[in-house]
């Protein structure tokens, strides 16, 4: 007796069914519309700023802000450079930003390393909580005492502004470094200590190089905050000739009168360094934050 064999067609796997059913990704139109509106909210003012900066005075006051400059002129940049003494303001802003960036990275990294490696001690643990509590105190609340203290100790100058940037950013930066340091295995330090390395050698030769992504993230935040800051320099620096670029623009704003092209040229020169720095270093922001998120 012969048995007939039948070939049963294989059923498609559940995975294949799920892929065929959900193969087409649906567009989230509400989120897309919100992102498009936010993008336009940034690009349209930027376009107006660039367009007005290259216009003549007559074109700038004709009431058509969205028209292209014709002819293209750089006279507004020359006038803005002279009126605001841009070279001096630029040098002072660079001075404040460099000290703020370096100081925030080094001081915050040292504080976070001391807290993380001594977490079992009450003093260090409560110091971390104290720093977190300081994040809820905005600068305007303590502005008047800071003005008086910086004047008493002779720090009513760009150096004092840079130091205050380091102090007020210590809480947030320490929190970032603390989260990142918890992801670094303690065994790396123990092996280095077995070779005779001390605490400072472990930090500078091992820990600090490993903090590179987070240091870049903190540095970017510090640069943008110090470069664009208006309130702190205007309150702390007593000499008008030693002011940073944002404050100089406010001081000489009355001299721009109806020369909107000069005003926008000044704004464009002031924000150009921050935009360039962020465009070339934005990838470090997400990499630094995500690497310290998961241990």
Q: CATH number, domain at 221? A: 1.10.3720.10
What is the chain's length?
A: 295
Task: Give the chain's end-to-end CA distance (angstroms, integer).
Answer: 67
147 against 8, higher pLDDT: 147
For 81-104, write each residue's pLDDT tens digit.
Answer: 888 788 899 999 999 999 999 999
Whether 63 and 135 map to the same domain: the answer is: no
Whether 68 and 172 map to the same domain: the answer is: no
Quick check: is 37 in a domain? Answer: yes
Quick check: is 66 in a domain? Answer: yes
Radius of gyration of the chain (CA): 28
Whether 91 and 218 map to the same domain: the answer is: yes
Picking from 41, 72, 103, the residue at the C-terminal end of a domain is 72
Looking at residues 202-225, what average pLDDT do you find?
A: 90
User: Quick check: helix, strand or coil at residue 67?
Assistant: coil
Quick check: is 199 in a domain? Answer: yes
For 126-183, write each residue's pLDDT tens digit.
Answer: 999 998 888 888 888 888 888 899 989 999 999 999 999 999 999 999 999 998 898 8
Residue 17: pLDDT band by 50, 70, 90 thresholds?
very low
Whether 62 and 180 map to the same domain: the answer is: no
Q: Which residue has the tokens 């074109």?
A: 59
Rounded-to-integer distance, Cα 39 and Cα 44, Å: 8
Quick check: is 27 in a domain? Answer: no
Residue 289: pLDDT band by 50, 70, 90 thresholds?
low
Residue 255: pLDDT band by 50, 70, 90 thresholds?
low
Instruction: Flag the least confident range among 17-26, 47-56, 91-100.
Output: 17-26
Whether 187 and 214 map to the same domain: the answer is: yes
The pLDDT assigned to 41 comes to 92
Picking from 7, 42, 72, the residue at the C-terminal end of a domain is 72
What percent of the chain has pLDDT above 70? 85
Residue 71: pLDDT band by 50, 70, 90 thresholds?
confident
* pLDDT for 24 beyond 90: no
Whether 156 and 288 map to the same domain: the answer is: yes
Quick check: is 185 in a domain? Answer: yes
Quick check: is 263 in a domain? Answer: no
The pLDDT assigned to 13 comes to 46
* pLDDT for 9 beyond 70: no
Whether 41 and 140 map to the same domain: the answer is: no
The pLDDT assigned to 5 comes to 47
Whether 125 and 151 map to the same domain: the answer is: yes
Q: Average pLDDT, whole number, for the chain?
A: 83
- Which residue range(s) make up the domain with 185? 85-232+268-293
Whether 154 and 219 map to the same domain: the answer is: yes
Contact 264, 151 (CB under 8 A): no
Whether 59 and 129 map to the same domain: the answer is: no
Whether 97 and 188 map to the same domain: the answer is: yes
* pLDDT for 254 beyond 70: no
Whether 44 and 118 map to the same domain: the answer is: no
41 against 8, higher pLDDT: 41
Rounded-to-integer distance, Cα 222 and Cα 62, Å: 39
Rounded-to-integer distance, Cα 260 and Cα 268, Å: 12
The pLDDT assigned to 286 comes to 60
Residue 108: pLDDT band by 50, 70, 90 thresholds?
very high
* pLDDT for 288 beyond 60: no
Picking from 44, 72, 100, the residue at the C-terminal end of a domain is 72
* Domain count along the chain: 2
The pLDDT assigned to 196 comes to 84
């Amino acid at each position: 007796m012969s048995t007939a064999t039948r070939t049963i067609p294989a059923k498609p796997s559940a995975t294949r069914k799920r892929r065929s059913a959900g193969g087409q990704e649906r567009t989230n139109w509400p989120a897309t519309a919100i992102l498009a509106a936010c993008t336009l909210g940034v690009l349209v003012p930027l376009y107006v700023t660039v367009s007005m900066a290259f216009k003549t005075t007559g074109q700038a006051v004709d009431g058509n802000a969205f028209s292209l400059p014709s002819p293209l002129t750089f006279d507004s940049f020359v006038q803005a450079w002279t009126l605001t003494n841009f070279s001096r303001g630029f040098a002072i802003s660079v001075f404040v930003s460099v000290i703020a960036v370096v100081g925030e990275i080094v001081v915050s990294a040292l504080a976070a390393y001391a807290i993380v490696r001594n977490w079992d001690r009450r003093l260090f643990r409560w110091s971390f909580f104290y720093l977190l509590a300081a994040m809820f105190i905005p600068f305007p609340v303590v502005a008047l005492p800071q003005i008086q203290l910086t004047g008493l100790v002779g720090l009513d100058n760009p150096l004092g502004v840079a130091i205050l940037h380091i102090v007020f950013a210590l809480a947030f930066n320490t929190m970032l470094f603390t989260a990142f340091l918890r992801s670094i295995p303690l065994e790396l330090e123990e092996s280095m200590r077995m070779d005779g390395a001390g605490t400072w050698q472990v930090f500078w030769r091992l820990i600090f190089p490993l903090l590179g992504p987070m240091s870049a993230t903190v540095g970017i935040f510090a640069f943008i905050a110090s470069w664009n800051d208006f309130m702190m320099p205007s309150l702390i620096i007593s000499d008008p000739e030693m002011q940073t670029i944002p404050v100089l623009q406010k001081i000489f704003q009355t001299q721009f009168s109806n020369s909107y092209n000069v005003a926008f040229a000044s704004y464009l020169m002031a924000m150009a360094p921050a935009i360039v720095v962020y465009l070339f270093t934005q990838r470090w922001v997400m990499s630094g934050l995500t690497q310290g998120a998961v241990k």
